[in-house]
Amino acid sequence: MTQLKRNFLDIADLTSVTLREILNAAARMKKEMRLGLHERHSRTLAHRTLAMIFEQPSTRTRISFDVAMNQLGGYALLLPRDQLQLERGESIQDTARVISRFTDCLLLRTGDSAHLALLASHASVPVINGLTNFSHPCQVMADVMTFEEYSGPVAGRTVAWVGDGNNMVHSWLHASARLGFSIRIATPVAYQPDAQVVDWARREGANVLICNSAEEAVTGVDCVMTDTWVSMSDKDVGQRRAAFEGYCVNQSLMALAATNAIFMHCLPAYRGEEVDNTVIDGPQSVVFDEAENRLHVQKAILSWCILGDF
Ligand code: CP
Ligand code: NVA
Q: What CATH number should be reported for the domain holding residue 164?
A: 3.40.50.1370
Per-residue pLDDT for 62 more than 60? yes
Q: Are residues 262 and 145 in the same domain?
A: yes
Structural domain range at position 27: 11-136+294-307
Distance (Å, rounded) from C-alpha 143 to C-alpha 290? 6
Q: Are residues 147 and 172 in the same domain?
A: yes
Domain count within the chain: 2
Q: Does ligand 1 lie within 6 Å of residue 131's CB atom?
A: yes
Burial status of residue 216 (CB atoms within 10 A of its CB: 0-12, 13-18, 19 or more): middle
Q: Does ligand 2 lie within 6 Å of residue 227's CB atom?
A: yes
Q: Are residues 155 and 276 in the same domain?
A: yes
Provide the pLDDT for residue 3.
56
Distance (Å, rounded) from C-alpha 234 to C-alpha 226? 16
CA distances in angstroms from 200 to 114, 133, 138, listed in the order given = 19, 18, 20
Q: Are residues 132 and 263 in the same domain?
A: no
Provide the pLDDT for residue 259.
97
How many angstroms separate the alpha carbon of residue 268 from the centre of ligand 1? 7
Q: Are residues 160 and 80 in the same domain?
A: no
Question: Exactly one of 71, 139, 284, 298 is catalytic; which is it?
Answer: 139
Determine the atom of ligand 2 nearest the C-alpha atom of 227: 1
Determine the atom of ligand 1 nearest the C-alpha atom of 131: 3
Q: What is the mean pLDDT of residues 218-241?
A: 96
Q: Are residues 222 and 303 in the same domain?
A: no
CA-proximal residue: ligand 2, atom 3 (nearest): 231
Q: Are residues 114 and 175 in the same domain?
A: no
Provide the pLDDT for residue 238.
87
Q: Are residues 299 and 272 in the same domain?
A: no
- Give tens-digit pLDDT for 24-58: 999 999 999 999 998 999 999 999 999 999 999 99
Q: Are residues 179 and 276 in the same domain?
A: yes
Residue 28 lies in a domain: yes
Give, rounded to a whole angstrom, the gap between the first and last alpha carbons of the chain.
24
Q: Does ligand 1 lie within 6 Å of residue 266's CB atom?
A: yes
Side-chain-facing half-sphere of 303: CA atoms under 13 Å:
27
Q: Are residues 159 and 148 in the same domain?
A: yes
Per-residue pLDDT for 1 more than 70? no
Q: Are residues 103 and 220 in the same domain?
A: no
Determine the atom of ligand 1 nearest the C-alpha atom of 266: 1
Residue 26 lies in a domain: yes
Per-residue pLDDT for 178 more than 80? yes
Is 136 designated active site?
Answer: yes
